[in-house]
Structure formats: structure tokens, C-alpha cells
């Protein structure tokens, strides 16, 4: 964070109570600007760094995670954000700019990444994953309930099909 704002002439007027709370949150998030506090509070993380999110993964899985994110971004223009979950995963989310619905998410932890899409029922469903089996072996699959291990190209194709379909269904205004 801590990057320069694109327009330094922008300003937001706040009352004393809001100002005090923003000051308090600077300490909580260990940041130096109100802009960075608001980024945290609003879950706005432009150009989220996949390397940071995938830092604990094997190199092959980090490369695959980059491919997954590039693939999802090639489907449409999405708003990206990063969120933490109670299960210990950090998620990079892709939300439709038009409908403000989450279309896809990539979850990261120390052993795997998972990819989910909004299914036909409007629920998030897994469509791909890459996980560390041992010190230098990785496995790819299309869902959490599947133990068939497929190659990287197959999961990328499945992710593309599912996320593109989800975006056609949930990403355009009626």
C-alpha cells in the first residue's frame, strides 16, 4: 500500500468522530495514510500482488496461480479485492462491475490455491485447485470432492468455461 494517489486534489471532509476513528485505524492496520485505512476498510486492493498471496506455494503452483488470475481477467473487466476468511484462507475476488456480484474467487493458503465461481443457483462452487502433495509434487483437480488428478491445462480450461458462464449469467444487468 502507501502508493501515491492518482489525484492529489481529491479530498473528503469528515467530522471529528470519523477523523478520530480513521486515526485509530491507522494504528490497527499499521499504515500511515487515511487513504490506506479506507483501502483496508473497503477491501480495495488494486493490482493485488499474486506473489504475496501465493508466497507459501511451490513455484509451480505460484506460476499456475498467475495463469489462473490472468485467465479470469481475460474474461471481463472485474473489480478485484482481497479478503480474509475465518478458515485461514485469503481470497482474491473478482466482482462484476455491472452487477456488483462476485463472479469468481481464488483462495490461497500455505498448501493450495482454489478457484470458485458463482454457479447456476447463485452459490459459490469450486471449479479448480492446485495443491502441494509433498515437498516437490503438485496435484491439480477441478473440485474439492474430486480426487482425480488432472493436468494444469485441463483445470485452466474448466476454470475458463465455468467463470465465463458465470459471468454471462451473473455479470450482466437484466
Residue 146, CA distances (Å) to 48, 50, 169, 172 in order? 29, 25, 25, 31
Q: Which pLDDT score, from 0 to 100, does residue 46 have?
A: 47
- Domain positions in the chain are 14-44, 50-170
Neighbours of 100 (CB within 10 A): 10
Q: Which of 71, 114, 63 is nearest to 91 (CA)?
A: 114
Q: Which pLDDT score, from 0 to 100, does residue 28 have?
A: 79
Q: Which of 149, 155, 58, 40 is nearest to 108 (CA)?
A: 58
Whether the Cβ atoms of residue 108 and residue 130 lie closer than 8 Å to each other: no
Q: Which pLDDT score, from 0 to 100, does residue 1 have?
A: 42
Q: Which pLDDT score, from 0 to 100, does residue 106 have?
A: 96
Q: Which pLDDT score, from 0 to 100, does residue 49 have?
A: 76
For the chain of 174 residues, list the mean pLDDT of each consecutive stretch of 10: 55 89 84 79 63 89 93 93 83 94 95 95 95 85 70 93 97 83
Amino acid at each position: 500500500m502507501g502508493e501515491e494517489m492518482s489525484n492529489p486534489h481529491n479530498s473528503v471532509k469528515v467530522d471529528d468522530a470519523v477523523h478520530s476513528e480513521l486515526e485509530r485505524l491507522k494504528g490497527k492496520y499499521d499504515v500511515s495514510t487515511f487513504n490506506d485505512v479506507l483501502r483496508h476498510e473497503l477491501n480495495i486492493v488494486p493490482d493485488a500482488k499474486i506473489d504475496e498471496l501465493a508466497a507459501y506455494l511451490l513455484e509451480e503452483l505460484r506460476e499456475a496461480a498467475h495463469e489462473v488470475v490472468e485467465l479470469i481477467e481475460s474474461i471481463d473487466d472485474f473489480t478485484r479485492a482481497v479478503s480474509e476468511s475465518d478458515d485461514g484462507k485469503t481470497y482474491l475476488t473478482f466482482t462484476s462491475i455491472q452487477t456488483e456480484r462476485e463472479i469468481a474467487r481464488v483462495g490461497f493458503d500455505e498448501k493450495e490455491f482454489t478457484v470458485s465461481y458463482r454457479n447456476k443457483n447463485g452459490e459459490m462452487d469450486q471449479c479448480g485447485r492446485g495443491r502441494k502433495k509433498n515437498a516437490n509434487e503438485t496435484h491439480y483437480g477441478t473440485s474439492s470432492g474430486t480426487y482425480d488428478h488432472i493436468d494444469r491445462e485441463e483445470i485452466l480450461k474448466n476454470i475458463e468455461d465455468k467463470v465465463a458462464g458465470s459471468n454471462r449469467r451473473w455479470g450482466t444487468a437484466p
